[in-house]
Chain A
């Protein structure tokens, strides 16, 4: 196998007494689409900043494209495209100018930047807004511009930190489509998200992170297979009755999770659970059979839900 794009071992970041990233190990292979899944504050963004050579690590080892971020920050960043969690667009400039200026921060000649800017405006469906001020764009457009901007240096690795947070469903799907095209072209993607559907859409392989540690690693399907059952039955009996009913469900399905508002029954066959309930004369106010998701994996691993 060729040299990994990112190699991290015992990678650690501390802020005073607080350990944001706690000795994590991972590798990202060229062309791979790698995800960090976890709740807010899990250390995902801190990890991204260390890999992006904008935050010095406290301990452990880190190689990005074969180089040490501590000593080769400018050279590493030259080959990365970064989409930060919040838009950091230059509000004082016009859309096209911003793309060109950003490219020139990399030391790329103006003529090359100008040509790429046109291509990227097309890619981000912003050609008609090229002369608009950045500040006047909608949220979805700004996000697309941020992604276009991250591609101006034709990066080997595209790093996306919460790429679709705060976007409406349509804007998210447009973005996913664009990212999918990049992935097909062979760009390495590193994505953080707290949306399980996003992780399932975009990532070949992911790590589940919580409290600065890696809880599990694998493809979305593998993780679901390993840490959850095929199906989940969601039952609501009303918040005051859930706990009492849960006791009577002992032995039903593989595993039961009682949440404040609902009971989750993990099982290979959801219909069988529902039949069992009606035989026992238990009538939930609502019931739903669905396939297991990464949300369930996360719940299983940490005892908490992903979006609180």
Chain B
């Protein structure tokens, strides 16, 4: 189930790949900056070796060696929710009427929301608890940063791994939705890139937040924020059950945008309003990355 990344197909990152049997001297092994990174300002280049993808390879290898069953469990969580709430509870609820008057079965209403929630949960878990643990207990980053890798490689690598994992889950869940007949439009396939975008937004903010965390007690605050957001962001019932003021508040939260974006795609309500949600996440990613990068020096290169 875990994605296999062929390590041999990764391009050569070394300035001169030795062809002779003779071992290259270490001077030859300074990683070449990838095209884009050469354009970065010197302050950023000191934090970045252009080798972030190696952390993705490492993550896949680690999952393959150890806990692929744990990794697999992330796929089942939303499926269980869908079966219990959508198919179980849904028989009592019947159809839900959307803002445009379209009637959809309850399961089809909550399935895209669960897809968005699982993208959020996966990304937040990977960028907060996982990073927190590796930072303070596993000492992974201490070791990685003794190589030519810089803090920005670590941040981008860990976020990429979280996204890859999220994409695998999302593909699985979308397949389940298709089998159960919950996708009402071909645009459902576009929810895969949407989920990656959503996960990227949450992961980049999550990592920035984690950089301030020192103790487990502080980490618990993350759950305190996540749970109400999960329950009230028009996940299980439409937004119009709330009073006007609460509606505005919920519309400011990222999960509402995520749910609306994915729901619009799986139910075929394709329109310009989706661009607003996309824009929200583009902004979230930009803020998260700038923030995280600023914090990294303080965090790792104290």
Contacts and interface: CB of A to CB of B under 8 A. Distances in A.
Interface in B8-61: 8, 10, 12-14, 17-18, 23-27, 29-32, 42, 45-49, 51, 54, 57-58, 61
B14 A105 contact: no
B57 A101 contact: yes
A105 B17 CA distance: 16
Interface of A: 15, 52, 54-56, 70-75, 77-80, 82, 84, 86, 88-94, 97, 101-102, 104-110, 112, 116, 133, 153-156
A153 B26 contact: yes
Nearest to B300: A54
B48 A74 contact: yes
A55 B151 CA distance: 12
15 contacts: A15-B302, A54-B146, A56-B301, A74-B45, A78-B147, A79-B27, A90-B143, A93-B62, A105-B144, A105-B148, A107-B29, A108-B29, A109-B17, A112-B23, A153-B147
Contacts of A74: 30-31, 45-46, 48-49, 148-150
Contacts of B45: 71, 74
B26 A155 contact: yes
B29 A56 contact: no
Instruction: Please report whether the interface of chain B is mostly helix, strand, loop or mixed according to DSSP.
Output: loop
Given A74-B150, A105-B144, A154-B29, 4 more contacts: A55-B302, A73-B46, A82-B146, A107-B51
Interface string B148-164: 11100000000000000
Contacts of A77: 145-149
Interface of B: 7-8, 10, 12-14, 17-18, 23-27, 29-32, 42, 45-49, 51, 54, 57-58, 61-62, 65-67, 138-140, 142-150, 297, 300-302
Nearest to B13: A107
- Nearest first, the 3 closest Cβ-Cβ pairs linking A and B are A107-B31, A92-B62, A107-B13
Nearest to A79: B26
Contacts of B302: 15, 55-56
B148 A52 contact: no
Given A107-B51, A154-B23, A72 B147 contact: no
Contact of B29 (A72, A88, A106, A110): A106
Contacts of B46: 70-74
B143 A78 contact: no
A116 B146 contact: no
Contacts of B51: 105, 107
A75 B58 CA distance: 22
Contacts of B149: 74, 77, 105
Contacts of A107: 13-14, 29-32, 49, 51, 148
A55 B61 CA distance: 29
Nearest to B51: A107
Given A74-B31, A90-B62, A112-B18, A54 B143 contact: no
Contacts of A84: 142-143, 146
